[in-house]
Amino acid sequence: MKIIDSRLNGILLLKPDVFEDQRGFFFECFHTEKLKSLGINQQFVQDNLSKSSVGTIRGLHFQQPPFDQGKLCQVISGRVLDVVVDIRKGSPTYGEHFSTELSDENHHMVWIPPGFAHGFSVLSPIAIFHYKCTGFYNKSSERTLLYNDSTLEINWKVDNHIVSEKDTQGEPLASLDTQFLYKI
C-alpha cells in the first residue's frame, strides 16, 4: 500500500497493491499492521455502506468530540468525488478542502481522522460507498457543514444535485461550531 499526497495534513490518500489478471483483481482493503505502518493506528468499531444514484451529494458530515470519528473510505462499485474539509481551529489549512475520485477501478481509499468534515458526490449511475469508523454513530454529536457554502469553493462535479433536507440545512463555515483544535 502506498500513500499519495493529499495536501491537507492528516488526510491520507491510499493506493493499495492490486493484483490483476484475466480473472479480475485482488487486493487487501484492510490490514491492521499495514495501516499501522502508514500511521493509521486505530481501532475500527463500525462499518457503514451506502448506495446512491448519480448526482447525489452526501455531506459534509462530522461528529463533535467526544464522539468524533475517523473514517477509512472506499468505493465498492461506481465512482464518487470524495471531499474533505479541514475544520480544526488554528490549522494553517482551516476551511480548505481536498477532493479526489474514488472508484471501483482505481481502488483508492481515503483516511480521514477526526477534525475534518466529509462528503461525496456520485459521478456514476450508482455508487456503493463503504467506510470503517473509529467511533460509533452518535446522533446528538452529529453536525453538518453546508455542502454548497460559497467560501469553500467546492466543485462537486455533478449537475441536478440530489441532497437530503438535513444536508441543505448545514451550517456555513463562518458560523460553524467546531470543537476540533489543530495539534502540531
Task: Single out the catalytic residue among 31, 61, 107, 130.
Answer: 61
Nearest to 156 by CA among 83, 71, 54, 76: 83
Active-site position among 107, 108, 131, 147: 131
Which residue matches cell numbers 467560501?
151
- 3-class DSSP state for residue 59? strand
> For residues 40 and 63, what is the distance between their CA atoms, to the nearest angstrom?
19
* Residue 47 bridge partners (DSSP): 132
137 is catalytic: no
* Residue that is written with C-alpha cell 470543537 in the block: 179
Pair 76, 132: CB distance under 8 Å: no
HEC string for 11-36: CEEEECCCEEECCEEECCCCCHHHHH
**Closest to 96 in 3D by CA, of 1, 10, 38:** 10
Is residue 61 part of the annotated active site? The answer reads yes
Q: Known catalytic residues? A: 61, 131
